[in-house]
Amino acid sequence: FADKYLENQHWVITAGPTREPIDPVRYISNHSSGKMGYAIARAALSAGAKVTLISGPVALEAPIGCQLIQVTSADEMHQAALAQATDCTTFVACAAVADYKVANIASEKIKKTNDAMQLALVKNHDIVADVAQLKDKPFVVGFAAETQDVEHYARGKLMRKNLDLIAANDVAKENQGFNSNDNALTVFSSIDKTEIPLANKQQVAKQLVALINQHYQQKHKV
Ligand code: PMT
């Protein structure tokens, strides 16, 4: 059926934030709610795909019918993503992964004895870039959350991370991007770009899933 156009495809989707522990009670994170990634999972499921959703800590119900893998840190998400990505047709990286983690996590709660303190950070693995390096790589779609020069930075990430597509959102605009119910995307391939105008994240996800599949079919046509 045309409405089940993703039958026989397996999508792996990352969603939500990661948490990078500082000590047993504190962490570094961001404002991702998981809404965009969960909406993509629902849209792919209703188009007939098998869906694995790798999610950071969020306050959302898992879409019915998906396999949910819950993780907390970027390292855990990296491990889960690489394990799942070897067996999927399409990988969508919607998670807001922390770029850095704390170099030395304190084993006890840090006391506020000093007036100032410094945290040493080290870079996390780039999950979507590592998936795109796999020998049998799936069709790989990244996101770009930018506050300025959206096209310039999004195209840079598309090339540098070896992605098939990148969906860019301007997260400096009000009422879209992080934690809002609506979003607007510009989706770049190496040769073209497509606008998905501001709408509810579920409607945006439906259009994005159809667009990803168009590019996927084009890449795999014999
Ligand atoms: O969750 P919501 O509240 O609904 O908000 C949605 C969103 C704004 C989080 C989402 O639309 C979005 O933009 N997700 C990507 C956020 C992000 O971290 O973007 P980035 O430009 O920093 O990263 C670029 C790409 O690399 C992303 O696909 C990201 O998942 C990936 N990445 C980044 C760092 C890292 N260590 N590993 C990665 O895989």
Q: pLDDT tens-digit profile of 2-51?
A: 799 999 999 999 999 999 999 999 999 999 999 999 999 999 999 999 99
Kindly state if the Cβ of 36 falls inside 6 Å of ligand 1. yes
Kindly state if the Cβ of 95 falls inside 6 Å of ligand 1. yes
Asked whether residue 173 is marked as a ligand-binding residue, the answer is no
CA nearest to 91, candidates 135, 37, 138: 138
Tell me the C-alpha distance between 60 and 81, whole Å: 20
Q: Is the ipTM of this complex over 0.95?
A: yes
Kindly state if the Cβ of 142 falls inside 6 Å of ligand 1. yes
- Helix or strand (DSSP H, E) at 129: helix 127-131
3-state secondary structure of 205: helix
pLDDT of the residue at 94: 98
Q: Domain total for the chain?
A: 1
Asked whether residue 143 is marked as a ligand-binding residue, the answer is yes
Tell me the C-alpha distance between 27 and 48, whole Å: 37
pTM: 0.97
pLDDT of the residue at 221: 87
95: containing domain:
2-109+117-220
Q: What is the pLDDT of residues 127-181, one digit of tens each?
A: 999 999 999 999 999 999 999 999 999 999 999 999 999 999 999 999 999 999 9
